[in-house]
Structure 1
Amino acid sequence: MASAQNGSGQPATKPATQPATVDGFGQPVSTSALQRYSGSGLVQNNQTITGTVTGDTASNVTTGSNAITGNAFQGATGMPSVVQNTGNNVLIQTGVIVNVQLKP
């Protein structure tokens, strides 16, 4: 099978790749540096959220409505969380576990 030629009679080689940069983040970390900081093990996350609502009463109450409109998250960053409730005597519990895995 013939090898690809680059016009000089030599086999073609892949061009050297430059690390991608992202404005505001500086230079990328080398693969060897990332390997030194890698936990490289099993990650187990447990979250136990317990709560109770007992013995509550609600009499002669009016509940409202709520809505998320088209621009509600405009300009939001990170991981926004939304909890909505229009009821009474309600226990709302929320939790987030985020695992970030970086691979060279």
Structure 2
Amino acid sequence: MRSAVGTPSGRVEGLGPRVDAATLGRLSGGTEVSQEMTLTGTVGNNQIDHAVTGSNVISSGSFDGATGLPMVIQNTGNGVLIQNATIISVKLQP
């Protein structure tokens, strides 16, 4: 993992521009937060012939060494639309 290193330009390497305390103060408490997501998709005119599906198994140790928020999307079918969305709310407190 690369660590964030401050630069003279006021940017934090890999993270973008710094935000001053006054701006953070105005944005605290959930300003501009959305917890709604709309996904749309279409599957049509599919034709599957002689399809073979495999096993759908998550075994012990599958997430060893994983960081962040690991996600698994499993599908045992063919010709399907898979939609995935995640909303993560983070609350920072002093």
Report TM bin, short chain: 0.5 to 0.7
Aligned residues: 73
**CA displacement, residues 49-73 of structure 1 (integer Å, 9 cap, x when unaligned):** 1111111011221111121011000
| Structure 1 consecutive aligned stretches of length 4 or more whose deviation exceeds 3 Å | 33-36
1:79 corresponds in structure 2 to 69
1:68 paired to 2:55: no
1:51 corresponds in structure 2 to 41
Structure 2 unaligned residues grouped into runs of 5+: 4-19
- In angstroms, what is the RMSD of aligned CA positions? 2.3
User: TM-score, normalization: structure 2?
Assistant: 0.65
Distance 2:81 2:73 in 1: 11
1:7 corresponds in structure 2 to none
Structure 1 unaligned residues grouped into runs of 5+: 1-23, 25-32
Between Structure 1 and Structure 2, which shows a larger proportion of strand residues? 2
**CA displacement, residues 18-40 of structure 1 (integer Å, 9 cap, x when unaligned):** xxxxxx9xxxxxxxx97862422
Percent pairwise identity: 44
Deviation at 1:44, TM superposition (A): 2.2
